[in-house]
Chains A and B, each alone.
Chain A
Amino acid sequence: MSDLVSVLPEIVVTLTALLVLVADTLVDRRRSAHVLAVLTVAGLVIALFSGPFAIAPGTHFSGFVLVDTFTTFFRAVFILLAVFATLVAPGYLDRKGVAPGEYYATICFSTVGAMTIALSTDLITLFVGIELMTIPIYVLAGMQRSDRYSNEAALKYFLLGAFSSALLLYGFVWLYGFSGATELSKIAKALASGGLTSGPAIIALTLVTVGLGFKAAVVPFHQWTPDAYDGAPTPATAFMSVAPKAAAFAAILRVLVTGLGPLGLDWTIVLAILAAVTMTGGNVVALAQSNVKRMLAYSSIAHTGYILAAVAAYRAGDSAGAAVLFYVLAYGLMNLGAFACLLYLDVEGTRGATLDELNGFAKREPGGALAFAIFLISLTGIPPTIGFVAKVLVIQPVLDAGLVWLAVVIALNAVVAAFYYLRVVVRLYMYDAEAGTPTLVPARLLSFTLGLSALAVVVIGVLPDGIYAWALQAAAPLTLR
């Protein structure tokens, strides 16, 4: 019984997904997008509040599941992201004729997968979680069946995703062969006694890093990202740009920091170089984009780099883990928001949003433009926003770990990023709409949701202490041993 209680939120989200699928057949077609959204959000909120009841110390399901502060933090983040991804979608789904029941249920299934990653202490649970999270996302990407770009996105994402899963699994097999166990704690012990001098350990570590790097879109394993993000339906893009990345970092922290922690000293430099290459690569390519959806896709790669920098700095202790967690939450809020702002523009006959389509946005949709500008300023890392605090929190452990060069790379990258983010603000506020500019979609629910998350971006930016203290607490189990 206590086993079941420990995964209560996961059970609630799963039930919500099933309920939505059933309700889909009962609700009037014309109103189903909104009704089912309300149902989904209600289920997710119940799941969020069931979290405190699911605290059960120790491992469960014979050592496959561990619910600690780390799990609780990520559960909340994933549910929050799913709520936002649900609330911004209804108008779009109606417009594009995407089946709403399938969309919401798929989001929920993917969320369960992501939550499973956060509670795994074992390679098997971890891998099941990763697959359960990713497979629904392939579906999400291709949900707009009549759109060829959507099909392309789904196929590309699926092929490369399957490829990376195979690599990851192969790495897990090496770890198992090396240590004779699938529990992360036992693997850590085996590695600690063997050290990095042994060939199998290096092979396993490389394969795991590459596999998780694919999932998180680390350069040079990022090639699937722009096409998948660009082609997928915009609300799905908003979700898939944040949730899988957050989940990938949950996995990276669990495996690379907890499991392979004893070898950390030798692996820092690999992660640091990957981080520098990732943020620079993402930013430089984003500079050249004229389609905002693609630009945001590349910029999300750059953000992976910033988060990875904090992972690389985990010698600094709790502050590094907390920086990762805080950044993941901040990135989730602002990036999901930025993608969702494109929903105003996504009308028949346009694809995503070119910079020209954004001209004069502020005059046509003042509230939406303000929210968009706040998200972009936050992504740039200018105070008083959550993105700024997140960047400071990343720079702190990076310097603490002695990686001064990486901190300077982060700062310079933020300037490059400022150029393309602020170029969008220029279009919003400093250009006038031309004759050919498509009209915007009026969307009250969307405006409300965006307003709420923009407010959160600013409020947490001014008063981040509560969240940071929570992140510190959540990161503590990672570095205990």
Chain B
Amino acid sequence: MIEHLLTLLVVIPFLGLLPLAAFLRNPGAVKQVAVVTTFVELVVSLVMLSRFRVGEAGFQLRESAAWLPSLGIRYELAVDGLSVLLVVLTTLLTFISVLYSTKVIKERIGEYMAAFLVLEVGMVGVFMALDLFLFYVFFELMLVPMYLIIGIWGGPRRVYATLKFVLFTLAGSLLMLVGIVAVYLASGDAGSRTLSLPELVAARGRFSAEFQFWVFLAFALAFAIKMPMFPFHTWLPDAHVEAPTAGSIILAGILLKAGGYGFLRFGLPLFPYGTQAWLPVLIVLSIVAILYGAIVSTVQKDLKKLVAYSSVAHMGFVTLGTFVLNTQGAVGAVLQMVSHGVVTGALFLFVGIQYEKTHRRLIADLGGLANRWPLFTTFFGVFVLASLGLPGLNGFVGEFLVLVGTFRFNPPTGLGGLTWGPLAAIGVILAAIYLLWMFQRVMMGTLRDAYRSLPDLSPLEVVCAAPLLVLTVVMGVFPQPFIAIVEPSLQRIVALATDTTLAVIK
């Protein structure tokens, strides 16, 4: 059993579906099954983390078996420094989402929990799959449950939002599918073709520069839409505003990471020439996302939309750190993904808790909540400060490393880090403006009479938020253990992407 930890992570949520189906019409039992399943999954992922050997760059806990032998496609799972933290983040956020949902979801809870379990399979699978075909299957497996979660349990405009979400994502991923098949055909002669990442990296000399240009574009479109990068972000605010709280947590916390992860896992190592060719465009788009996301956040009236747009800005840091192509930037990008998952997940959780109590989400309708809710204010305040990148909290670590990497970015032609660095830094300042201003308008000032009798955080809500708070502080104060996990693998990926000795066929 212990040798197949990663398969276990894929299988546990599926196994949870069986008792869930048996008790489908019994809400109490359904909640217990879902909470227990996601908790076991979390524990197993922690066991997996404890067996992860820090300091090694390569893939660990690897499992490999023939899946489609006629095509040479394999069932191949592994983790490395890039993915291991994201897997644990996934299981943690899913557990918290399910736990919180037991209180707020009243309707069709059986189907709701089933969707979450299937979603969890897709999410952990995406971060562990080494075979591109398997990766694609998991990538798409995340789509349908989220489509249902937004579409069934979402807000008034849920159908529009969920269709938009699915169509945007599918448009990108289907082009990536064509790219994957193209990679498969180019990976060898008939009979020896493969989609396994290590073998593809070894065979990447067969990908001509022109081939890389187009196939990287196909992959980049899928990941850019998923992230989402400017100008493909328009589905995000709609999806977030309409999604139920737990859906927003998972969407912002995990699903967006699949894009940034895809760039680092597949885009950079497989297509160094494609990366070089598209690098200027992607860096400019990252800077635009950082500034645009921040400016648009400033003027939002809806609390949830504000957090959603702030995600666009934060994900801009991830792509910026990725495409400056140095270790600091890449490590910063990964840490930024992890801390954004924790912090923005928490922010959506608190916006949801707040909404459950007041039934208002417009900033103008709120105010003075700090007078009545000391506990809520403390938690929320810490997460807001972490989100704006205050040193000592986790948001700072990723953004700082990305900025260091950006300043060190020095391409032979075109604008370098001294142009992009200051622009990105402006984004950090803007983040402080919109987040603090929001906090001030929501929490300070005079309290409305209608909100006087509303209770502070319930024990369940504290239990949901506490692990995130601990992580926020620990990652901010002691970032070194996390950097140590991430760094070797990212060094390797950056080395693969910047290998000047790589010769490709014409």
Interface on A for B, CB 8 Å cutoff?
317, 377, 380-384, 388, 391-392, 395-396, 399-400, 404, 407-408, 410-412, 414-415, 418-419, 422-423, 425-426, 429-430, 464-465, 468-469, 472
User: B382 on the interface (CB 8 Å rule)?
Assistant: no
Instruction: Give complex CA distance A289, B68 in Å.
Output: 38
Once the chains bind, are A415 and B174 in contact (CB under 8 Å)? yes
With known contacts A382-B140, A419-B167, A469-B70, A430–B152 Cβ distance under 8 A? yes
Contact of B175 among A317, A408, A468 (CB under 8 A): A408
Contact of A396 among B137, B152, B159, B181 (CB under 8 A): B181
Chain A residue with the shortest CB-CB distance to B182: A399
Instruction: Give complex CA distance A309, B68 in Å.
Output: 23
Tell me the chain B residues, 186-234 only, with Cβ under 8 Å from chain A: 190
Residues of A within 8 A of B175 (CB): 408, 411-412
Interface of A is mostly: helix
Q: Can you list 26 A-B contacts (CB < 8 A)?
A: A377-B144, A380-B170, A382-B140, A383-B137, A383-B141, A388-B140, A395-B178, A404-B182, A407-B178, A407-B181, A411-B175, A414-B170, A414-B174, A415-B174, A418-B166, A418-B167, A418-B170, A430-B151, A430-B152, A430-B159, A430-B162, A464-B68, A468-B68, A468-B70, A468-B71, A469-B70
Instruction: Give complex CA distance A392, B195 in Å.
Output: 13
Nearest CB of A to B410, in Å: 36
Contact of B177 among A377, A392, A404 (CB under 8 A): A392
Contact of A395 among B143, B162, B181 (CB under 8 A): B181
User: B136 on the interface (CB 8 Å rule)?
Assistant: yes
Chain B residue with the shortest CB-CB distance to A377: B144
Residues of B within 8 A of A419 (CB): 163, 167
Instruction: Give complex CA distance A472, B162 in Å.
Output: 39
Once the chains bind, are B151 and A384 in contact (CB under 8 Å)? no
Residues of A within 8 A of B182 (CB): 399, 404, 407
Residues of B within 8 A of A400 (CB): 185
Residues of A within 8 A of B257 (CB): none
User: B69 on the interface (CB 8 Å rule)?
Assistant: yes
Residues of A within 8 A of B151 (CB): 426, 429-430
Inter-chain CB contacts under 8 Å: number: 85
Once the chains bind, are B158 and A399 in contact (CB under 8 Å)? no
Nearest CB of B to A187, in Å: 29
Contact of B69 among A380, A412, A422, A465 (CB under 8 A): A465
Chain A residue with the shortest CB-CB distance to B66: A465
With known contacts A384-B141, A468-B70, A429–B152 Cβ distance under 8 A? yes
Residues of B within 8 A of A381 (CB): 174
Contact of A429 among B141, B148, B181 (CB under 8 A): B148
The winner among A419, A422, A472 for most chain B CB atoms within 10 A is A422
Residues of B within 8 A of A422 (CB): 147, 163, 166
User: B171 on the interface (CB 8 Å rule)?
Assistant: yes
Residues of B within 8 A of A384 (CB): 137, 141
Nearest CB of A to B422, in Å: 39
Once the chains bind, are A395 and B166 in contact (CB under 8 Å)? no
Once the chains bind, are A415 and B181 in contact (CB under 8 Å)? no
User: B116 on the interface (CB 8 Å rule)?
Assistant: no
Nearest CB of B to A430, in Å: 5
Once the chains bind, are B178 and A408 in contact (CB under 8 Å)? yes
Once the chains bind, are B141 and A392 in contact (CB under 8 Å)? no
Instruction: Give complex CA distance A425, B174 in Å.
Output: 20
Nearest CB of A to B161, in Å: 11
Instruction: Give complex CA distance A464, B73 in Å.
Output: 11
Residues of B within 8 A of A391 (CB): 177
Once the chains bind, are B178 and A411 in contact (CB under 8 Å)? yes
User: B478 on the interface (CB 8 Å rule)?
Assistant: no
Instruction: Give complex CA distance A384, B75 in Å.
Output: 14
Residues of B within 8 A of A423 (CB): 163
Chain B residue with the shortest CB-CB distance to A418: B170
Q: A383-B140, A391-B177 are in contact. List 7 more A-B contacts (CB 8 A).
A: A384-B137, A399-B181, A423-B163, A429-B148, A430-B159, A430-B162, A468-B68
Chain A residue with the shortest CB-CB distance to B70: A469
Nearest CB of B to A176, in Å: 37
Residues of A within 8 A of B143 (CB): 382
Instruction: Give complex CA distance A392, B158 in Å.
Output: 31
Once the chains bind, are A396 and B178 in contact (CB under 8 Å)? no
